[in-house]
A and B are shown apart, each in its own frame.
Chain A
Amino acid sequence: MGYTISLTAAMAVLWLLLSGHYDNTLLLGLGAGSAIFASALAWRLHILDAETSPYHKLWRFMFYWPWLLGEVVKSNIIVIRSILAPDMVLSPRMVRVKSLPRTDFARALYANSITLTPGTVSIDLDDDEIIVHAVLKELTSKNGFAEMSARCARACGEKEGGS
């Protein structure tokens, strides 16, 4: 029930943002109706769970996203510098990254974060490791991966000390 309510609220907010109509009762009513109708469809499909309606725990990501943006900018600068260098020296490599977060949601977040930072792309995901292709040696420090993994786990609400 909580998921249905939070999904309806999120869609109502999205409708208000995208439409910009705040004074026409008919349009507001139609917007509310469409938000409720879409939530009712999702509820009847039984697809509402913590993964499809994660809005009530978005506040945790408010600490993760700024950090991730900082990392994205940092690795962008490294990659741009090596692209612009007249004598380009690269050290492409495949790395197996262990120590993943436990939940599926946190793993998907972790793999996507690795891909989002330029210079590293997650190629394949197994049960206990991610295969990562990196274009430079300095982008594959063990501590960097471990820190990102720990932050993903924390952002998804996992307790400390998980593997």
Chain B
Amino acid sequence: MSEFLHILDALRPFLAGIVLVAGGVIVLIGASGVLRLPDFYSRLHAAGVTDTLGTLLVLLGLILFSGFTLLSAKLALVGMFLLLTSPAATHAVANAAHKAGLKPRLGTYHSNPPEDDTGETA
């Protein structure tokens, strides 16, 4: 049993690396979503991907990297504060846009509209 735990402990840095890379990839996906999505409100959702899953995976990777220490507890606290504050910031931005009268783009959106259907794109 303790042998198994030793192996697990030796594997920990590799596991942490995998989780960190996954988090970085998801942050990149979120950034590309901010570029690809059509309007302000839908870009907020892409930023939300970076905010939630991206940061959580990066923090989880760092926690795995530092092991069962005080540093991990601090990183977990950072994650908790981020989860509490980032929706408030997103809501503040979205609410400000709504109050200022920015109309969202509604209806179906195709990034590559079909040739015969020209009515969908603006």
- A residues with a Cβ closer than 8 A to B are 14, 17-18, 20, 72-73, 76, 79-80, 83-84, 86-94, 111-113, 115-124, 131, 133, 135
Contacts and interface: CB of A to CB of B under 8 A. Distances in A.
B7 to A, nearest CB: 28
**Most chain-B CB neighbours within 10 Å: which of A93, A112, A117, A124?**
A112
B49 A83 contact: yes
B44 to A, nearest CB: 5
Contact of A115 (B42, B70, B91): B91
Given A83-B32, A90-B109, A123-B98, A116 B83 contact: yes
Given A17-B74, A17-B77, A72-B53, A92 B39 contact: yes
Contacts of A133: 41, 44, 94, 104
Q: Which secondary structure characterizes the binding site on chain B?
A: helix
Contacts, number: 124
Interface residues of B, number: 42
Nearest to A120: B45
B112 A87 contact: yes
A29 B30 CA distance: 46
Interface string B89-122: 0110011001000001111111110000000000
Contacts of B107: 91-92
B37 A90 contact: yes
Which A-B residue pairs are the 3 nearest by beta carbons?
A88-B111, A115-B87, A118-B48
A118 B41 CA distance: 12
A117 B90 CA distance: 11
A92 B48 contact: no
27 contacts: A72-B53, A76-B49, A76-B52, A79-B45, A79-B49, A83-B33, A83-B36, A83-B37, A83-B46, A86-B112, A87-B110, A88-B110, A89-B111, A90-B37, A90-B38, A112-B84, A113-B87, A116-B48, A116-B83, A118-B48, A118-B52, A118-B53, A119-B45, A121-B90, A121-B91, A123-B41, A123-B91
